[in-house]
Copies of this chain bind each other. A is one copy, B any other.
């Protein structure tokens, strides 16, 4: 898959996709809070949603819309999650869906909808309805970044990525945008992503592929272990690149690899932008008997407040890492285990008298990898996370706006 190249344009990088973003008044700050991604020709649509038992209204509506294979557009508002507001939540989302469907001369079930922001406060519907015509007028092939900005909440920068690759003499493009920040954890907590491609992919194949790719990318990151009520990843494929349907073989392998690259980069951006994050931490568990076991151990380490604060403090505290593996629930032998910070071996069945200065140099880096080798098998898994800083507490200990 070495023919995958990064390109600009985000969700509007692929042919046939338009996007727009504007401020309709949901954010007190006056910043953009409403985004639309539109496809012409009509696309097939797939999606993966939060596993949280508490699901926001737009998640429930979009999930129902999966029964319709075709998708025209994705609309997302920030500043309000339209979650936990009772029956009116569904009514409000359906009202917006109907109005947008009329405007785009399509049906509500050809739309995906998402909301992100404050929970438990009724969604202000009138300002959204009033903004729809302008949102449509503003649609443009260069509007990817506007849309990416409009879905931000506590994010400090818009998150976009796009790639192109050649297959059978055709160029296929895949673009994406995401928002993350607080409450990011496995199963896509308060994480939204919209992915677009001009590859011709049948809906069933698209759904299988996005689920598998999300499990290896967005579901392998964590900021604070919390998971939210609104997470959604949408993927639209409009076939504008032409060629035969992508249903398997090399064509699907190439598409999956490119999609995974886009999702991995968006996931990394979310971790890098984790609330108060000062370091990007890669926790890799190797030598496990199964990938599940490796992932369980890596997740425990990545979610440990003591490990995360140690990285924040640039403290070579492998004891906290080993202790986290110890309570992860997996069976392993501490006396056979090896722990590395970067390339530096700090624990080998017992603590080592390692070079403190070398450790300090590694821990002062912005990106740090720790490898825990359980030495009891061939399986491995990686979880990406960030450190836990005083800034995280400051952000989450005060009201959001």
- Hey, which bits of chain A sit against chain B, CB under 8 A? 51-54, 81, 83-88, 118-121, 182-183, 187, 189, 224-229, 303-306, 309-310, 312-313, 315, 318-320, 322-327, 330-332, 334-335, 347, 349-351, 388-390, 392-394, 396-399
Contact = CB atoms under 8 A, between A and B. Distances in A.
A53 B297 CA distance: 12
A376 B304 CA distance: 32
Contact of A323 (B227, B393, B398): B227
Nearest to A88: B350
Contacts of A83: 319
A374 to B, nearest CB: 11
Contacts of A305: 224-226, 305, 388, 392, 396
A310 B187 contact: no
Contact of A52 (B86, B88, B225, B323): B323
Given A309-B393, A398-B313, A53 B84 contact: no
Given A309-B397, A313-B396, A396-B305, A332 B226 contact: no
Contact of A224 (B53, B306, B312, B397): B306
> How many copies of this protein are present in the complex?
2
B326 A53 contact: yes
B389 A334 contact: no
A382 to B, nearest CB: 21
Given A322-B54, A323-B229, A397-B313, A347 B392 contact: no
Contacts of A224: 305-306
B118 A319 contact: yes
Given A86-B350, A88-B350, A306-B396, 9 more contacts: A53-B325, A54-B325, A83-B319, A86-B335, A226-B324, A305-B305, A305-B388, A388-B397, A390-B393
Contact of A84 (B86, B119, B334): B334
Contacts of A225: 225, 303-305
B350 A85 contact: yes
A306 B334 CA distance: 32
A227 B327 contact: yes
A393 B392 contact: yes
B84 A347 contact: yes
- Which of the listed residues A120, A312, A399 has the most CB atoms from chain B within 10 Å of its own CB? A120
A326 B393 contact: no
A340 to B, nearest CB: 15
